[in-house]
Amino acid sequence: MLDRIRASIPALPPAEQRVAKLLLSDPRSFATLPVVELAERSHVSKPTVVRFCRSVGYDGLADFKLKLAGSVNEGVPFVHRAVDDDDKAGDIVVKVIDNAVAALLRYRNAAAAPAVERAIAALADACRGGHRIEFYGVGNSGIVAQDAQHKFFRLGVSATAVSDGHIQVMSATMLGAGDCAVVISNSGRSRDLLDVAEIARRKGAMVIVITASGSPLAQEVQRGGGNQILLAADHPEDADRYSPMVSRLLHLLIIDILTTGVALRLGSAQLRPMLQEIKRNLRQRRYAETTRSRGPSDVGTEASDSNSSTP
């Protein structure tokens, strides 16, 4: 809601723009203050405040305040930003899914295609050249790194996920030109990951960083040389208060995008026969799809078979 209002400011009359700026400066107070005080603080008339609410798509001030209060609700700390203490199971289902879908769509619109293209090209080149691809993450991001290793492994690529800080340092020290280090961090503040990204960069490897823009890790990428790529994943979660749900989904999504792009670069002629063979071999490891119910005669037959010398 606030993003939409911020984007609509240039199209509003000057007086309504002042109301919008007051709203964006302190949304919580705006939702609770009476119209008289809102008009005074914006230096406009009371009807102008109401017109502003209608200009941005609401029925009036009361409807606008109701929607605004829901939009800026802090949610339940350490659980999920969208939910409330008294939400029922059905409400939680809707809110958690809506929150995730909104974040994914926001990323779709904000993703920097040139950076994604550079990352895919670097990873594909490393695959073709037989170079190393390392995925670094700690905590929750370490799980995302393991998922990335699994996806690249299925492409026949020798990739490694490392979540231990000491091993990360050793691994990055052994990287060289042509190798790729993918650093995954929600907060972008982990000392271990900041160090490992710097080591990999110094060794000449391509460093691909998945983190929030404006984080210390992102700032290091922007200050560094040309062998670093930032894939920014911004979201409304506060790393200090909320469980990393949306951020984890965004990071997994970015890994899927990179995997798909690399697979297309490597070509289906190379990958398809191998993937089909993997499927065939895995199918043999599964339980039979249909089994008939066993009767007493089956038990006797199994007993006689077990005593037989025939394997």
Between 235 and 311, where is the model more confident?
A: 235
Mean pLDDT, residues 70-80 taken together: 63
The CATH code of domain 1-72 reads 1.10.10.10
pLDDT at residue 78 tops 60: no
pLDDT of residue 155: 85
* pLDDT digit string, tens, across residues 200-231: 999 999 999 999 888 899 988 888 777 999 99
Task: Write out the two tokens for 82.
Answer: 């969208």
Of residues 264, 236, 211, 221, the one with CA closest to residue 71 = 236
Rounded Cα distance, 211 and 183, in Å: 8
pLDDT of residue 105: 86
* pLDDT digit string, tens, across residues 17-52: 999 998 888 888 888 888 999 999 999 999 999 999
Q: How far apart are the first and last CA of the chain?
A: 70
Confidence of residue 302 (pLDDT cuts 50, 70, 90): very low
59 — phi, psi (to 5°)? -70, -25
Confidence of residue 246 (pLDDT cuts 50, 70, 90): confident
pLDDT of residue 31: 83
Pick the range with the lowest mean pLDDT from 74-78, 148-152, 225-229. Answer: 74-78
Mean pLDDT, residues 80-97 taken together: 80
pLDDT of residue 210: 96
CATH 3.40.50.10490 fits 112-270, yes or no: yes
pLDDT of residue 32: 84
Give the pTM.
0.68
pLDDT of residue 198: 94
Domain residue ranges in the chain? 1-72, 112-270
Instruction: Output the average pLDDT for the chain.
Output: 84
pLDDT at residue 292 tops 90: no
Measured CA to CA in angstroms, residue 147 lies from 57, 96, 303 at distances of 42, 22, 44
Is the Cβ–Cβ distance between 153 and 202 less than 8 Å?
no
| Helical spans, DSSP H, in the chain | 2-8, 14-25, 27-32, 35-42, 46-55, 61-71, 89-110, 113-128, 140-154, 165-173, 191-202, 216-223, 246-266, 268-283, 296-307
